[in-house]
Structures are given as C-alpha cells and as structure tokens.
Chain A
Amino acid sequence: MKILLPALSPTMETGNIVKWLVKEGDEVLSGDILAEIETDKATMELESPDDGKIEKILVKEGSENISVNSEIALLTVEGEEIEEKIEKTIESAPPVIPNGSEKNIKEINISMSSLLKEQSDGMELKNWSEKEITMREALNQAIEEEMNLDKDVFLLGEEVAEYDGAYKVTQGLLDKFGSKRVLDTPISEHGFTGLAIGAAMSGLKPICEFMTFNFSMQAIDQIVNSAAKSLYMSGGEINVPIVFRGPNGAAARVGAQHSQCFISWFSHIPGLLVVAPSNARDAKGLLKSSIRNPNPVVFLEHELLYKEKSNVPEENDFLIPIGKANLIKEGSDVTIIGFSMSVQRILNALPSIEKLGIKPDIIDLRSIKPLDEDLIYKSVKKTNRVVIVEDGWGNTSFGSHLSYLIQSNCFDYLDSEIIKVSGKDVPMPYAENLEKLALPNTDEITSAVKKVSYTK
C-alpha cells in the first residue's frame, strides 16, 4: 500500500518531511507515528494507516514542499491486492465540486412557496358561525381546539399554567388539560426551548411560549441551529413540528430591552416559517394551521393587539393557510403593505390618505415566510406605487428585502421609488413622546403615500 502525504489541515497543499520515526523493515501498527510533517499551520504527526511493514521510504527526511497526495513510503499489509483496487477507486473518485454545477443550480432555483406542501385553501369562504372576540380569546380557542384534537400537542412556558399566562392568553388551559400538557417552566429559555425541540424531534407537537419574544434571544441558538436546520441536515429524517409563540414588537413604555420586533431576524432563517397576524380572526386560523404544520413556525403576536376584537368562526375546522396574504382594502392608486401592528398604523392613516383623493390597496401579509408574492405583485402591477410599513428597524430589514423583491419582479410597472416606513434606528426610548417618534406614525405613512403618488 502506498503511503501518501496526507492533507493534515483543510488548507494544506504541500508539506515538509521533518523527520521519519520509522525505518525500512519496521513493523508498525495502525495509528503508530511514522513521521513528523510540517504543514502551513503547524508540525503534525503522520500516523500509519494500517498494520504492516515499512517496505520502502520514498521521500527522504528534510525534503520540502512535497505536494499533498504524493507517495512518500510503501507499506506491506495483508490483503494487498484488494488495497490496490481501492487505491484506484480513490484516485478515480469524483472531485468534491462537480463541473457545471453552478449552471444547474440557476436552472432549478425554486420559489419558497413551492417548497411547502399545498396548504389547505378556501376555508375562509365557508359560512361560519361567528362571534366577536378578542385576539387573546381567539388564540386561547385555537390552542384549546388543537389540544382537544391531538393529544401530542402540549404547551410549555413561563407562567402559562397556574398563573393563567403572563398576558392571559393561556387562561384556563391548565384546568382543562392538566399539568401533564400545560407546563410551567423555570426561567430557562435556552433549556426549555431545547427541550421542546427535542420533544418535537421525537414526534410531539409542542407550543413553546416566550413570555415575550425579547427573551427568545436566550434561545436563539436552539431555534436557528436545532429547530430550523434539522430537517435539512438530516436529509429529511428529522422534522421539528413546533410553534414558538408570544408577543413580539413594541409594547407600551417598557423601554429598550422589552420593546422590539424580531420579524427580520426570524425571516432570515431557512427552515423557519414566520407568521404575524393583525387581528383575532387571522390569529385563530393561523395559529391552528401553525400547530398542525410539520415545520417549526415562529408565531409573532402583539401585546397591543390582544384586546382587539373581530368576528371569529367558532368551528373546529376553521383554518387560515400559512402563506396567504389578505387584501383588506381594495383601491387603485397605491399598494400599502403591512403586517401585525403596522396594519393598524396603516388603517389609522387611511382617513388622511383618502382625504387626498388617493385610494390604496392595503395588504395585510399575515405570513412573512412564506410570502404571498402573487398577491403582492398583482396589486403592484395595478397601482404601480408601493409603501411598506414595518415597526422594526429599517436597517437590513424584512421591508428592505420586500422592496428588493418588488423591484425585481415588477420593475417595469413601477412609477415611483418604493418607500419603506420603518422603526427608527435607535433602541426604544422610554419617554412617551420619544417612543411615539421611534415608531412609524400616521404622518410618516401619509407623506410616504403622497411622495410615491407625486401629490403635494
């Protein structure tokens, strides 16, 4: 068997033989040190690949700049003939990067929505028996219904059980399902998030509540590295059916560490779905779909929307598919896009926009990932003008990406620059006046609409 100069580091191309520690005729065992090799990084030891006898040393001690994979010695081992065949196989094995791969990759660039199994659609058209309830109640109903339907669904988080939820979203669930399925955790986000992901890997369907998403940063590694990537890096073997949920975004007067939006963070990660409803009806339908989804879903609620009411179907089979946006107001002049709390801000600005004689399409995205690109582009091709409103920081934000997508898919249809109204690039201040200024407001939204419409 030929002993070749091995690559002793990922970057090594040549090496120097500092010293042979064996001589011709020596019997060696697999793992015995044969020589000292100097690499680009350090001096390393060359170990014998097998048991055998050193037949010949081909490259003398002190030789420099020997290329990796050069023959440096011969080793006699039992079953030599087979060895030779294998050496040929090694030599003829394909290189790590196949030729022409880049071209092929471009040809098969697949859109995000086609990666997901068909979502059940058309549910919204049915005649539901509806009741006006708050988003808080709607979320509670969604969890209760899904827990009734599937015993693998369980809920864990801080204060979710005996305290009835820090924001009362999980009120009464402990009484209904008991402490086996509704679990108060210690303040160990990293630990309980990892635990929930592990349970999901073995087939349970956890709903992992963060008291607020600010604290999900303690567990960001588990969400990004364990939940999002396991399916891919296991070649499809391990999926993680989990929902991470809780309030996200700016609350009221709670200061910099408790007031921020993480939509851009999570939507950056392949393998995560990201959902952010703006009203009670969507919240219920989307949370139910999220719990049933076999992928990890980051479900971003908003504290200031918990008390808002809308008509919500009471039936068990009411679902809103993930990945479908909602055109909540139809117009003709400009497309205004928002999600979660920013939809409310757009609606607040609507009277002053209409006063200008401008009729907007207002799109509530509902799902950030996957994104309902069809609905967005259809609207933009009609209105030719776009304003995006997001509460989060504008720097490298989801809104920035969305405006990139729009310009590259609707370039010929745009009659104006795209304007993004984002949160200011500062930590959230505490003072009431400053906090207001830090977030998108009616005036900013209205002036953005004016600007893209060239209206004075």
Chain B
Amino acid sequence: MDKKTSNSFSNDQLLKFYEKMFLIRKFEEKAAQLYGAGKIGGFCHLYIGQEAVVIGILSSINSEDTVITAYRDHGHILARGVDPKLVMSELTGRKDGISKGKGGSMHMFSKANRFYGGHGIVGAQVPLGVGIGFAHKYRNEKKISRVYLGDGAMSNGQVFEAFNLASLWQLPVLFIIENNKYGMGTSIGRSAAGNDLFERATVFDIEGEKVDGMNFFTVSDAAIRARDYINNNSKPYIIEMDTYRFRGHSMSDPGLYRTKDEVNKMKEIDPVLMMKETLLKEFKIEEDTIKDIESNIKRQIKDVEKFSLESPLPDIKDLFTEVYL
C-alpha cells in the first residue's frame, strides 16, 4: 500500500477518516442483516468494499461543497455527516427516516449536509450534478459539485451530454467514476469498448486520471489534486476509481458472474483493513486507540439498529403530502 500522502493530515484527522470508513462498513453489514430478517425491503445496494473512495474524496471536501450519486448511496450520505439513525430508519421505511420513509434505500437527500441524492435511474444523477455545478458558478460560489457514477453508467448517453455541457460552460464539477468492474452482472469488458473509462471524457477536453480506489491515501491525494485543479482552472475534472464491491449488486444477487477466487483476492486489499494497518504500522497509532474507535462504532450501530426498528411507520396521511409544495 502506498503509505504516505503528500497532504499531511494529523493523526487525529486520519483517525476520523478511519472511523467514518469503519462506520460505513458496520452500517452496511447491519443493513444486510436487517434485510435478511425482512426488516428492509426492495432494492438495497451495499457499499462494502468501496469505502476508501467516498472517504478519500471526503478528505478534500469543503463542508459547503455538494455531492450527488446514484442508488448505492448509504456510504455517501453517511460520509456527508447525516445521522446514521436517520439513514437506517429510511432503510426500514420508518417515520424518522431521512426521507420520512418515502424514499427508501435509493432515495435519500439532505440539503443541510449538501447531499443531493440518491437517484435510481442509471446516469440521471450526472446531468443533475452538472446542474448543481451550474448553480455554484451562477451564484459565484466557490464550491465544487462532486458527481459519482458507476462504470455501467459510463455507457449511458446523457452522461456524455453532461460532460460536454460541463466542459463547454466551464463548470466546477468533479466527476468520480466508481469503477467496481461490474454493472449488475455485466463486467466492464462486456459493456465498455475502448480503454480506460475516464478517457471517454478527455474528448470533451476534461482532464482526468485513474486512481487506486482501494487505498484511502491514493484517493485522498487524487481528490485534493482534482479540487485544486478545478479551483485554479475553473474547469471540470474526472477521476476513475479502481475499486470493487465485495457484496452482490443488490441483496438478491447470487453473483454467478464472478468467481470466488476473484472476490477473495480483492478482499485481500480490503480498504478498511488496509487503512487500519497503515495507521498502525506507518503512523504508529496505538492499537488500543483504534480498538476504542471500533467498539464505539459497534455500540453506535446497535443504537442505530434499535432506533430504526422502534421508529413508527410513517403516518398514513403522509401518503398524500409532499407531492406538491
């Protein structure tokens, strides 16, 4: 693992990032468990394996910056600082859910935390995110719109329309491809012609790079480079994150399209375990310090679970509210 980042975070800051990665991991494991117990329904796409991406990017984010992503959004909204209780209660479809139980796993938003969803149509979040970048520029705000998309989404037409618009109008947008190698059961090789995915944006004069997305430090470095590039050049930028999802596409995916060997091999570079190891070995952080953080999170997740199951179902009258303002 690439150890030291050129951007020097204090040990306390690094521990905070580790804590968030660990929180996402434990949150998602709990979600899987509750799904299995029938307390979460429908589609439920877990983020396990990809945590270094969202937390590496987080290390470069200003709290005023905005984020938008697709349906694999639990990790993203947690990274933005939304209370895990509200997120889990959304998964269980309860009144206290961040969308009052009306959105579900794929549709969560928080204006206060600058998180704009939570979108179920592959690719649709990309023009939306460019529009948020448009609004930043229109208002002369020094903000960047961060737009996440999958490797599968990189073959959806509107994404290229959005790249063109972002570059044409010089919008402050960072595109982040989470290339986890599969769109459902279709491997990237079976869906995308040509070379690296990020190169598809270069024809629109958008600069970019491919980065090891399993490693917090490489992601963080790239994220900070990208942020500085966008701020200095007033232009969009694209990063392709090499990453992997350890679980199925959603909860009912038997995973026949990939071998156990492949998955196990990727688990050897588990981003959460690797960051922990680096903190212990390279940053000489005490094992007990990390253990404390982990057991705190585990305890927190238990509270989250309890809260999300005790929260009442939404009021029946809410069926008809919030269709119009």
Contact check: which of A69, A82, A101, A235 meets B97 at CB < 8 Å?
Answer: A235
| Given A190-B161, A197-B131, A198-B130, A69:B37 Cβ within 8 A | yes
Contact check: which of B38, B134, B316 meets A105 at CB < 8 Å?
Answer: B316
Residue of B nearest to A100 (CB): B316
As a 0/1 sequence over residues 208 to 234 of chain A, the CB contacts with chain B under 8 angstroms (1 = contact) are: 000000000000011001100011111
Contact check: which of A43, A89, A191 meets B310 at CB < 8 Å?
Answer: A89
Instruction: Report if B119 contacts A (CB, 8 A).
Output: yes
As a 0/1 sequence over residues 25 to 50 of chain A, the CB contacts with chain B under 8 angstroms (1 = contact) are: 00000110000000001111101011
Residue of A nearest to B38 (CB): A7
Task: State the interface size on chain A (CB cutoff 8 A).
Answer: 79
Instruction: Report if B153 contacts A (CB, 8 A).
Output: no
Contact A238 B37 (CB under 8 A): no
Contact B325 A294 (CB under 8 A): yes
| Given A79-B298, A234-B103, A235-B97, A186:B164 Cβ within 8 A | yes
Q: Which of B5-13, B106-114, B190-198, B218-226 contacts A (4 or more CB under 8 A)?
A: B106-114
Q: How large is the interface on B (under 10, 10 to 19, 20 to 34, 35 or more residues)?
A: 35 or more
Contact check: which of B29, B302, B316, B317 meets A30 at CB < 8 Å?
Answer: B29
Contact A7 B29 (CB under 8 A): no
Contact A108 B320 (CB under 8 A): yes
Instruction: Report if A193 contacts B (CB, 8 A).
Output: yes
Instruction: Report if A200 contacts B (CB, 8 A).
Output: yes
Contact A237 B111 (CB under 8 A): yes
Instruction: Report if A202 contacts B (CB, 8 A).
Output: yes
Instruction: Report if A125 contacts B (CB, 8 A).
Output: no
Please measure, in the bound complex, the distance between the C-alpha atom of A143 and the C-alpha atom of B133, giving whole angstroms. Answer: 24
Instruction: Report if A122 contacts B (CB, 8 A).
Output: no
Instruction: Report if A331 contacts B (CB, 8 A).
Output: no
| Given A235-B322, A273-B324, A198:B127 Cβ within 8 A | yes
| Nearest Cβ on chain A to B148's Cβ, whole angstroms | 14
Contact B132 A198 (CB under 8 A): yes
Contact B37 A4 (CB under 8 A): yes
| Given A231-B322, A234-B109, A226:B246 Cβ within 8 A | no
Instruction: Report if B118 contacts A (CB, 8 A).
Output: yes
Contact A238 B116 (CB under 8 A): yes
Residue of A nearest to B248 (CB): A44
| Nearest Cβ on chain B to A45's Cβ, whole angstroms | 8
Instruction: Report if A328 contacts B (CB, 8 A).
Output: no
Please measure, in the bound complex, the distance between the C-alpha atom of A196 and the C-alpha atom of B128, giving whole angstroms. Answer: 7
Instruction: Report if A110 contacts B (CB, 8 A).
Output: yes
Residues of A within 8 A of B157 (CB): 190
Name the interface residues of B306-325: CB closer than 8 Å to any CB of A: 306, 309-310, 312-313, 316-317, 319-325
| Nearest Cβ on chain A to B253's Cβ, whole angstroms | 8
Contact A238 B109 (CB under 8 A): yes
Instruction: Report if A278 contacts B (CB, 8 A).
Output: no
| Nearest Cβ on chain B to A192's Cβ, whole angstroms | 6
Residues of A within 8 A of B321 (CB): 115, 236
Q: Which of A91-99, A254-262, A306-314 contacts B (4 or more CB under 8 A)?
A: A91-99
Contact check: which of B38, B92, B126 meets A69 at CB < 8 Å?
Answer: B38
9 A-B pairs, CB-CB below 8 angstroms?
A: A10-B41, A90-B309, A96-B38, A186-B168, A194-B162, A195-B162, A196-B131, A235-B97, A236-B325
Interface positions of B (Cβ within 8 A of A): 26, 29, 32-39, 41-42, 48, 66, 68, 92-93, 97-104, 107-111, 116-121, 124, 126-136, 138-139, 157-158, 160-162, 164-165, 168-169, 246-247, 251-252, 254-256, 295, 298-299, 302, 305-306, 309-310, 312-313, 316-317, 319-325
* Extra pairs beyond A195-B162, A203-B135 (7, CB < 8 Å): A7-B35, A9-B252, A89-B310, A115-B320, A185-B165, A186-B164, A191-B130
